[in-house]
Amino acid sequence: MESIIYSVNKAEHIGGLDMPTASGRQFWFQGIDTSLPPSTEGVSQVLLENISRPGSKHNNDRRVSYLKSRLKIGFLSFLDKDRENEKEKKSVVCVEGNIASGKTTCLEFFSNSTDIEVLTEPVPKWRNVRGHNPLGLMYQDACRWGFTLQTYVQLTMLDQHTRPQTLPVRLMERSIYSARYVFVENLYRSGKMPKVDYVVLSEWFDWIVRNIDVSIDLIVYLRTTPETCYQRLKMRCREEEKVIPLEYLDAIHHLYEEWLIKGSLFPVAAPVLVIEADHNMQKMLELFEQNRHRILTLENRKLGP
């Protein structure tokens, strides 16, 4: 019987095929006697976890074809269905930006388009958890309630990412990534979140990203100045936002810039489309229309910040 090495975390030349992979382990597949029905559940599990996993999808066809030809066992045919499903992959687009940057306007603009489902930020949930308002409490005393709110934000955003998608394009207001990379980070940097709380939230977030599919296809960054956001915020008069100072918006702005423009803060989970959003309503609607095809079409994902 023939041994096959599936090497990961580097490009390994295996049996004449370069197989770049994304994990940090190494698996040995022993050749299986094809006269017997396959019963190696362990091999099946490895294949499911390391060939069909997010991050390895770009090379699935070559890997599956190679393993089928080398192992010559029929149980690998279950991967064909998974590959077909990948070809029909739906698109997830996250609209990111500061408070009052125009995210709701953007979502409303595209909500009338066909084949699009819109998921707004679950703010009503943050305002009412069995009669409690963690969002309002956080704005009143971030040192006391920041961890409480962000724990619940992470949970509700995970729910947004993982709920079944029924239409070709899902448009989400913010994401689990900005919850961690911008808002949790701001609480910690500003001294309003103890390190132990920050580490716990970070560990929880890292586990989610490693073990649950929260992948996205595009980030639309509505780039605004903190001053513009502050003026808009005052005009819309939401109760919890009355206590938000300009300094807070400035801090959020700089974290977004570090993350999505400079790329110096954290990994960027998808290509970024930047739309300058300091304009009035009419101009913003024109910009949304100009970028419709880039936002809603899967083929237009290589955009960069």
Region 190-216: what's the mean pLDDT? 98
Please identify, in words, the CATH class of the domain defined by 91-296.
alpha beta
Give the per-residue pLDDT at 52.
Answer: 47
Please tell me which residue, 167 or 302, carries the higher pLDDT value: 167
Give the per-residue pLDDT at 63.
Answer: 53
pLDDT, tens only, 129-152: 999 999 999 999 999 999 999 999
Query: What percentage of residues in the chain have a pLDDT greater than 70?
Result: 68
First-last CA distance in the chain = 50
Long-range contacts from 134-142, C-beta under 8 angstroms, 24+ separation: 135/240, 136/239, 136/240, 139/240, 139/241, 139/243, 139/244, 140/243, 142/187, 142/190, 142/192, 142/193
* Helix (H), strand (E) at residue 12: strand 12-14
Give the β-pairing of 116-119 and 91-97. unpaired
Region 170-181: what's the mean pLDDT? 98
Any idea which of 37-46, 87-96, 154-163, 228-237 has the lowest mean pLDDT?
Answer: 37-46
Tokens matching residue 19: 């197989």
Q: Give the Cα separation of 222 and 207 in Å (integer).
A: 28
Angle, to 10 degrees, between the axis of helix 281-290 and the axis of helix 103-111? 60
pLDDT at 246 over 90: yes
Give the per-residue pLDDT at 85.
Answer: 53
Asked if 259 and 174 count as a contact pair (C-beta separation under 8 A), the reply is no
Give the per-residue pLDDT at 284.
Answer: 97
What is the CB-side half-sphere exposure of residue 226 using CA atoms within 13 A? 14
Q: Give the Cα separation of 265 and 275 in Å (integer).
A: 20
Region 78-103: what's the mean pLDDT? 75
Residue 299 annotated in active site: no
Q: Across all residues in the chain, what is the average pLDDT?
A: 79
Give the per-residue pLDDT at 1.
Answer: 37
Of 96, 121, 173, 185, the catalytic one is 173
Nearest of 105, 50, 89, 283 to residue 167 by alpha carbon: 89
Q: Where are the domains of the chain?
A: 3-84, 91-296
Any idea which of 56-60, 190-194, 259-263, 292-296 has the lowest mean pLDDT?
Answer: 56-60
Region 267-289: what's the mean pLDDT? 97
Give the per-residue pLDDT at 2.
Answer: 34
- Phi, psi for residue 205 in degrees, rounded to 5: -60, -45
